[in-house]
Structure 1
Amino acid sequence: MSLCKESIDYFIQKYGVDAFSSLGITGQMHGVLYVNNDGKCISPLITWQDRRAEIFENGINAIQEIYNRTGKYVPAGYGLATHFYNKCHNMVPKDIAKICTIHSFVAMTLTNTKKPVMHVSDCHSFGLYDSETDGWDFSSIALLGISEDILPKIVSNPFIIGNYKGISVCVAIGDNQASFIGSVKSFDSLLINIGTGAQVSVLADNEDKHNIEIRPLSGKYLIAVGCSLAGGLAYETLKNFFRDVYKMANLIPPENIYECMNKTGELNDNAPLFDTRFIGTRKNPEIRGSIENLGIHNFTAANFIYGVLKGIANELYSLYKQLNVDVDKIVGSGNAIRKNPLLRKIIEETFQMQLKIPINDEEAAFGAAIYGIVASKRFPDISSAVKSLVHLEN
């Protein structure tokens, strides 16, 4: 928290309080943090990458037990799946008052309040979200023996929860939704985001048309989302392999292996075919990646680099086709796309469309700022705000 406050204070000192319409906040979705009655965190952040809910004991794991009791599927890493596991194993901190996301904790602390307020985007990311009420599915949560008292209040629109040194603070929103807001110039675009994981996101007009996950964006707006667990992580796995080869030969790896990889890889129709689902999928965590079309002539570093990047793009394209929507504009965000021209070319080749990149980097932070501006009534809604504030490279 001290770093957050130092950063904000730096800009307040540099530009003055009057330069701010509000503070927008975003952070890692799905993960869970425990806080006490004083609004203090009493646990480390348990992130979306935590897999404890997949651990089998006596032939069953927490995910299956949640499904058996509620008929709802909550993936590993989602806040309520993690909390349910902790509850069943007496791992919940004794002084718990609320559970929340890390960014809702930041917003609460900045406003000097003691109870977190969570955006509907985070409510959905915890699992057991009720689309009818735009909030918690209290009936299902009760079947798990979880007290509704520990669940934060949920808001679904741009909302000012308090102030920090006279500056309005907007409710924190999930990073997937924030990235969508901060990347697309118009809501008829498909967003391709590649970080550690990867997602394709597009505005959804209803909850029945799509065969994939529907997430609340804000108010009446929904987004259809296809998620890959190993987006940038797949490329990082290949980097680690190359690093190990250097170590095996008693050589010092280059300071930036990624830069070497990006220069070495090239478009190649005869490259090995990689399935990059190295850590499974949310619905099938046991599935693993594979390599096909591997021969003596394409067993090279350059072909492996291309093959992994093409595998990432192929999985995202498959997820896009499952959305059952047709778009003619794709936008890319995340450092994996920004810093890798080869990946950009592969995505364009795979989707058969030109990939546009936002002029602003740190798209999620930019989207949170836009959301905060809408909360301060500078724009009537987020659609008009993105049309005015988001700009794409030519």
Structure 2
Amino acid sequence: MEPPVFLGVDLGTSSVKVLALTLEPVPRVAGRGRATYAIQSPQPGWAEQDPKAWWRALRRALHQALSGGISQRVAAIGLSGQMHGVVLVDQAGALLYPAVIWADGRGASLLSAFRRKVPPPLWPRLGSPPAPGLAALTLLWFRRHRPELLRKAAWALTPKDWLRLALTGEAGTEPSDASATLLFSVPERVWDLEVIDRLGLEPTLLPPLQRSDGLAGSLTSAAARYLGLPPGLPVIAGAADQAAAALGNGILREGQAQLMLGSGGQALSVRERPESDPTLKTHLFCHCLPGRWYRLGAVLNVGLAWSWLAQALGTTLEGFSRLARKAQAGAQGVVFYPYLLGERTPYMNPNLNAGWRSLRAYHTRAHLARAGLEGIAFSLREAVEALDLTEGTPLRLAGGGIRDSFWLQILADVLGRPLFPGLDPDASAWGAALLAALGVGCVEVWALEKLAIPSGPPVYPSDQAGFYGAFYREVWRAFWSPHP
């Protein structure tokens, strides 16, 4: 008898990934699919997506993943998705406005209003200081500029929770996504009604909570027909992409650490107690397993900066890496600061700008490309340092950015520590599939670490690590005004 298949769906910023995973006798990918969609920017600094485009992309990705004729073996569906965004829907589930995603900056104008209404002494229980792109700031923007939409809205959903609504017809969320909204008591794992009231928001907008491995509903007949799946499949609540990736990589115990390389970059470390960062440089969010949390250093400009650099230099993503290889480490003194969207960790400043520095007539496109990759790596170093990891802590890698070996070597040299890429880059989808299996009782929590993605060959710092360490201290930090 063929083993059951568990679908992990990861709704990312640039694409949806679907992983069809079997677990017997060992985890094996039975199918894989991916489909892309665009980010719209109707005004400078805005970032929106069409949830209907997510839905169409899911259909394409599922068709790829299930092309081996395994659809009848699917036992459950688990979900993962990009964090912080807001999708407003009415009582019938109809969209009221495009999804406002994490990269959106319109909430910057309301930071002062948030601070007045929710003063800093309350921030530790919210897990984060305020930042544009987080749901609370986006909802404040709707309240000020489009109040009629909030009056019509039945639910304000995160992206993956909108997808769950489309699959099941049931609105809901779970702690790992809710904890990244600034509307949630992270230590208690409940909606923070005091903060919601202070912001003048209706608590009924926020969907009911359940466990990440809880049964969220069943696949409706209409969704099943559209997606080519059997109706009635169990759909598990799922998790935010960072928590799901941590589960997929087996990052479950105190002090274990992960670095995600996607459109943004995220360095996280697991905590068994909900202790917020007293410096407010990092976030505290809920893990997808009960009794666990994680500290997160969030970098906004990784894959997004790579794409911008490639376009600015007139090349492709792959061509950009080849171009950077033509210049030596340090790019002959050129420095690139990648803050195209401002930055979170460690500055929490949406007004930082990007740019090259120390350009001379003899510099070439190759120097600009090399400086671009190094600048992204230096910003990730700032996030990793903000976590205060103990010396020797292994750093597991996840995300699409782990595919380029040249980039990983630069990153290992800049961080000055060995990196352990997973053998499968789709850790969030893998974690979502494990939540599906956990939710229907096919695995136990104690077995999850053994079902994680195996680690590939480590990438060790080379003899360039000393050079990059000095460059970081004496050049990168010296030139940029936010650095102390």
Q: Tell me if TM exceeds 0.5.
A: yes
Percent of residue pairs bearing the same amino acid type: 18
Contact 2:396–2:422, Cα closer than 8 Å, also in 1: yes
Q: 1:280 to 1:152 in 2, by over 3 A?
A: same
Structure 1: which amino acid aligns with 2:85?
A: G
Cross-structure match for 1:99:
156
Distance 2:195 2:276 in 1: 25
What TM-score do the two structures reach when normalised by structure 2? Answer: 0.71
Contact 2:213–2:238, Cα closer than 8 Å, also in 1: no
Displacement of 1:269 in angstroms is 7.5
1:217 to 282, 287, 290: 287
Structure 2: which amino acid aligns with 1:330?
A: L
Distance 2:429 2:324 in 1: 26
Of residues 30-39 and 352-361 in structure 1, the stretch that sits farther from structure 2 once superposed is 352-361
1:83 aligns with 2:131: no
Cross-structure match for 2:302:
231
2:166 to 109, 117, 121: 109
Alignment root-mean-square deviation, CA: 2.6
Cross-structure match for 1:267:
329
Deviations 1:186-230 (A, max 9, x none): 645421112221111111233337442111112111111101111
- How do residues 128-147 of structure 1 correspond to structure 2 at under 5 angstroms? 128-147=183-202
1:360 aligns with 2:424: yes
Contact 1:185–1:391, Cα closer than 8 Å, also in 2: no
Q: 1:4 to 1:239 in 2, by over 3 A?
A: closer
Question: Secondary structure at 2:216's aligned position in 1?
Answer: strand
Structure 2: which amino acid aligns with 1:391?
A: P
1:37 to 87, 91, 95: 91
Displacement of 1:2 in angstroms is 4.8
The runs of 5 or more residues in structure 1 that have no matched partner are 55-60, 244-252
Structure 2: which amino acid aligns with 1:203?
A: V
Cross-structure match for 1:373:
437
1:330 aligns with 2:400: no
Structure 1: which amino acid aligns with 2:419?
A: L
Cross-structure match for 2:116:
68
Deviations 1:1-57 (A, max 9, x none): 35535655773992243x333201112211100111122322211111221112xxx
Q: 1:322 to 1:167 in 2, by over 3 A?
A: same
- How do residues 161-180 of structure 1 correspond to structure 2 at under 5 angstroms? 161-164=216-219, 165-180=231-246
1:388 to 451, 454, 457: 451
Contact 2:337–2:375, Cα closer than 8 Å, also in 1: yes
Q: 1:360 to 1:155 in 2, by over 3 A?
A: same
Displacement of 1:353 in angstroms is 2.6
Structure 1: which amino acid aligns with 2:246?
A: F
Q: 1:133 to 1:48 in 2, by over 3 A?
A: same
Q: 1:7 to 1:166 in 2, by over 3 A?
A: farther
Contact 1:272–1:307, Cα closer than 8 Å, also in 2: yes
Structure 1: which amino acid aligns with 2:139?
A: H
Distance 1:134 1:304 in 2: 45
Distance 2:335 2:57 in 1: 44
Aligned length: 373
Displacement of 1:263 in angstroms is 4.5
Q: 1:82 to 1:355 in 2, by over 3 A?
A: same
Distance 1:226 1:205 in 2: 17
Contact 1:182–1:390, Cα closer than 8 Å, also in 2: yes
Structure 2: which amino acid aligns with 1:207?
A: P
Question: Secondary structure at 1:201's aligned position in 2?
Answer: strand
Distance 1:331 1:83 in 2: 34
Distance 2:92 2:450 in 1: 41
Contact 2:212–2:238, Cα closer than 8 Å, also in 1: no
Distance 1:294 1:21 in 2: 57
Q: 1:265 to 1:45 in 2, by over 3 A?
A: farther
Structure 2: which amino acid aligns with 1:217?
A: H
Q: 1:186 to 1:267 in 2, by over 3 A?
A: farther
Contact 1:117–1:161, Cα closer than 8 Å, also in 2: yes
Question: Secondary structure at 1:353's aligned position in 2?
Answer: coil
Cross-structure match for 2:260:
193
Deviations 1:356-382 (A, max 9, x none): 22112322211211122222222322x
Contact 1:271–1:304, Cα closer than 8 Å, also in 2: no
Displacement of 1:289 in angstroms is 3.8
Distance 2:187 2:386 in 1: 24
Contact 1:271–1:306, Cα closer than 8 Å, also in 2: no
Q: 1:146 to 1:268 in 2, by over 3 A?
A: closer
Cross-structure match for 1:278:
340
Contact 1:265–1:342, Cα closer than 8 Å, also in 2: no
Displacement of 1:334 in angstroms is 2.0
Of residues 281-290 and 255-264 in structure 1, the stretch that sits farther from structure 2 once superposed is 255-264
Q: 1:159 to 1:262 in 2, by over 3 A?
A: farther
Distance 1:254 1:315 in 2: 22
Distance 2:92 2:276 in 1: 44
Contact 1:186–1:387, Cα closer than 8 Å, also in 2: no
1:48 aligns with 2:113: no
- How do residues 234-313 of structure 1 correspond to structure 2 at under 5 angstroms? 234-243=305-314, 257-258=319-320, 260-261=322-323, 263-268=325-330, 270-282=332-344, 283-289=348-354, 291=356, 294=359, 299-313=363-377
Deviations 1:283-327 (A, max 9, x none): 211222454555565x23333222221221222112212112214
Cross-structure match for 2:273:
206
Distance 1:194 1:204 in 2: 21
Question: Secondary structure at 2:100's aligned position in 1?
Answer: coil
